[in-house]
Amino acid sequence: MSSLKIPKPDELIKIQYRPPKTAWQDTPVEFRPGTWSYAGAAKNLTALGLPNPRAWQPADLDWKLPPDWREIILEGMKERLEKYRSFRLFMDLCVRCGACADKCHFYIGTGDPKNMPVLRAELLRSVYRRYFTESGKRFGRLVGARDLTVDVLKEWFYYFYQCTECRRCSVFCPYGIDQAEITMMGRELLDLVGCNINWVVEPAANCFRTGNHLGIQPGGIKDMLEFLADDIEDRTGVRVDIPLNRKGAEILFVAPSGDYFADPGTYTCMGYLMLFHEIGLDYTMSTYASEGGNFGLFHSHEMVKRLNAKIYAEAKRLGVKWIIGGECGHMWRVVNQYMDTMNGPADFLEMPVSPITGTRFENARATKMVHIAEFTADLIGNGKLRLDPRRNDHLRVTFHDSCNPARAMGILEEPRHIIRSACNVFREMAEDTIREKTLCCGAGAGLGNEENFEMRMRGGMPRAMAVRDVVEKFGVNRLACMCAIDRVTLTSLMEYWVPQVSVMGVHELLANALVMKGEKERTTDLRGDPLSL
């Protein structure tokens, strides 16, 4: 957004943690440019059959809500209170101890008290109390209840689209109250009256129709992958196959589409292709299930299911035995927490067994879907790959635990094992900023758009500063991560806060070091940068 005035980093870091004079119930939301996202376009809502498609923007005075919007929301709330114990419990359980307050990257980066998870949740709780608890009906504000007004709805919109559902707060909460769950419910309720953002609706609409977020049609996918194969041949002298929609393959591989359409994810994708070629894996990719990511997660549980359904359907159609999934954040949140329950049982598939090492992936016994970091770490652990870590000697690497795999799954050691095997210089960031305490890129959950740039830089600031720390201490120049959204959004975050650092996927690092049969002498890495051998 060139017309937006973006503060310089040294201005932006001047954050005041002083709450405003007025109580939060009396402080209306201000849609300051650079801190919110454009409304979902009517054509995308229509494509998904979502309610109330219309032309509007959040900064408008009139949001063109349906006349009975309040009843719709309250009815939706009632339904969800009955369907999800998490929602019902998290509305009641909080004691407002404030342990979560300074854990949210948006609070750290803005100082806005409504970004403290406890208060962001109170935005919804106050309405819940007013309409669904006796004390709230009777005593109102005294017990923290308030009426559902248009201003409250606007506040929900602003702050529920200012939460990346990273779940960091949940780690510190004594009851495990998860703001991500509350944000998901808040967004579902907003969806019911047609209030959502385009960066969430458009990828979902595209994914529904074409199978991937960018709306790339089958030929486009093939072209892009062939193009990556050309690049691989150029760097290594080895021509890799691009199996697409191939029936009877042993394994279906599903990547986040960000990896084959956006730099620097493309290098990670080249890494996948090189690895599979080198070990001679019998696999295929699919144009129909050409997306691992699932923007349904930023909509509603129903949308998660609708978009996720393609993976099992395609595995069945192609007759594969099991599935590998690429480096993606919320894709794995969906696979781990929802896929089998929503779209299983995957009883037409077989127990995942690595054809190279014979390892049985017992932890994926039900879903039949293995994370590529598990798969590759197993290959390395069994000595099946020849790696020359010196080829990464021009890189000084640190690792960003992507929020979703870290806090929804606990995939922490596998990527580290790959990184340690593939490069000689690996430095961890500060203890309070990695593993389950990892900080968000600031733009997950569909907030990675340009009009929201200032908020992204604010939300990502804590992560960026942790990177800056290891840059100053250890001369780190490369940030590895395991998520396609990270690869895109951390790139602009680094450009803004720590320009000497660029971003890569773990399998790009691996592929740099991978010694392939029949390769020519490598003089550059996958990006064409000269090696310092």
Partner 1 sequence: MNLIGSIIAISLLTLLALGISASRDLSGVLTAVVPYVAFAVFLCGFVYRILKWGSAPVPFRIPTTCGQAESLRWIRREPLENPAGAWSAAGRMALEVLLFRSLFRNTRVEIAGGRPVYGSAKWLWFFALLFHGSLLVIVLRHLRFFVEPIVPWVDALSALDGFFETGAPTLYLSDAGLLLALAFLFLRRVVVARLRYLSLFTDYFALLLIAGVAVTGLAMRHVFPADLNAVKTLTLGWATLSPAAAGETGILFSMHLCFVFTLMAWFPVSKLMHAGGVFLSPTRGQANDSRRRRHVNPWNAPVKVHTYEEYEDEFRDKMKAAGLPLEKE
Nearer to partner 1, 81 or 353 (CB): 81
Size of the site for partner 1 (CB under 8 A): 118
Three-state SS at 360:
strand
Which range binds partner 1 by CB under 8 A, 89-97, 186-194, 263-271, 442-450? 89-97
CB of 218 to partner 1, least distance (A): 5
Q: Which of 38, 42, 66, 86 binds partner 1 (CB under 8 A)?
A: 86
Closest among 295, 291, 304 to 204, alpha carbons compared: 295
* CB nearer partner 1, residue 181 or residue 259: 181
Closest CA to 253 of 343, 331, 305: 331
User: Rounded to the nearest whole angstrom, what is the least distance from the CB of residue 58 to partner 1 in the complex?
Assistant: 25
Within 389-448, the residues that bind partner 1 by CB under 8 A are: 406-414, 417, 430, 432-433, 435-437
Cβ nearer to partner 1, comparing 312 with 453 = 312
The amino acid present at 114, given as its one-letter code, is: K
Please pick, from the candidates 39, 101, 443, 482, the single residue that binds partner 1 as defined by CB under 8 A: 101
Query: From its phi and psi, is residue 19 left (phi > 0), alpha (psi between -120 and 50) or beta?
Result: beta
**Contact range with partner 1 by CB under 8 A, out of 36-44, 361-369, 420-428, 505-513:** 361-369
Of positions 54, 64, 154, 317, contacts partner 1 by CB under 8 A:
317
Residue 331 CB, nearest distance to partner 1 (Å)? 13
> Of 70, 456, 468, 487, which lies in the binding site for partner 1, with binding defined by CB under 8 A?
468
Alpha helix segments (H runs only) across 440-479: 453-474
**Torsion (CA) 306, 312, 318, 322 in degrees, nearest 10:** 150
Residues 6+ apart with CB under 8 A from 187: 160, 161, 196, 298, 299, 300
- Residue 70 contacts residue 193 (beta carbons within 8 Å): no
Say how many CA atoms lie within 13 Å of 382 toward its Cβ. Answer: 13
Please name which of 431, 427, 509, 434 lies closest in space to residue 474, comparing C-alpha atoms: 427
Which has the closest alpha carbon to 409: 358, 454, 362, 371?
371
> DSSP readout, 176-187?
---HHHHHHHHH
Residue 316 Cβ, how far from partner 1 at the closest point, in Å? 9
- Closest to partner 1 by CB, 23 vs 61, is 23
**Which residues, numbered 281-300, are part of the site for partner 1 (CB under 8 A)?**
287-288
Give me the sign of the Cα torsion angle 448, 454, 455, 459. Answer: positive
Question: Cα–Cα distance between 373 and 362 in angstroms, integer?
Answer: 15
CA dihedral for 478, 481, 483, 486, sign (positive or negative): negative
Which of these ranges, 65-73, 97-105, 392-400, 451-459, lies near partner 1 under the rule CB under 8 A?
97-105
Using CB under 8 A as the binding rule, whether residue 353 contacts partner 1 is answered as no
- Distance of alpha carbon 265 from alpha carbon 255, whole angstroms: 10
The C-alpha atoms of residue 476 and residue 504 are separated, in whole angstroms, by: 13
Which parts of 492-521 interact with partner 1 (CB under 8 A)? none
Among 46, 149, 341, 523, binds partner 1 (CB under 8 A): 341
Name the segment binding partner 1 (CB under 8 A); options: 155-163, 173-181, 487-495, 504-512: 173-181
Q: Is 66 in the site for partner 1 (CB under 8 A)?
A: no
CB neighbours (10 Å) of residue 142?
Answer: 9
Stretch that binds partner 1, among 56-64, 188-196, 266-274, 313-321 (CB under 8 A): 313-321
Q: Kindly give the interhelix angle for 265-279 and 218-236, rounded to the nearest 10 degrees.
A: 70
Q: Shortest gap between Cβ of 17 and partner 1 (angstroms)?
A: 7
User: Contacts with partner 1 in 192-211 (CB under 8 A)?
Assistant: 208-211
Q: Which of residues 213-252 bind partner 1 (CB under 8 A)?
A: 217-219, 222-223, 244-247
- Mask: binding to partner 1, 7-36, rule CB under 8 A, as x and -? ---x--x-x-xxx---xx------------
Given 29, 193, 281, 377, the residue binding partner 1 (CB under 8 A): 377
Site for partner 1 in 121-160 (CB under 8 A): 122, 133-135, 142-144
The CB-of-130 to partner 1 minimum distance in angstroms stands at 13
**Rounded to the nearest whole angstrom, what is the least distance from the CB of residue 222 to partner 1 in the complex?**
5
Stretch that binds partner 1, among 29-37, 67-75, 359-367, 481-489 (CB under 8 A): 359-367
Query: What's the angle, vertex CA 229, arms to CA 224 and CA 232, rounded to 5?
Result: 130
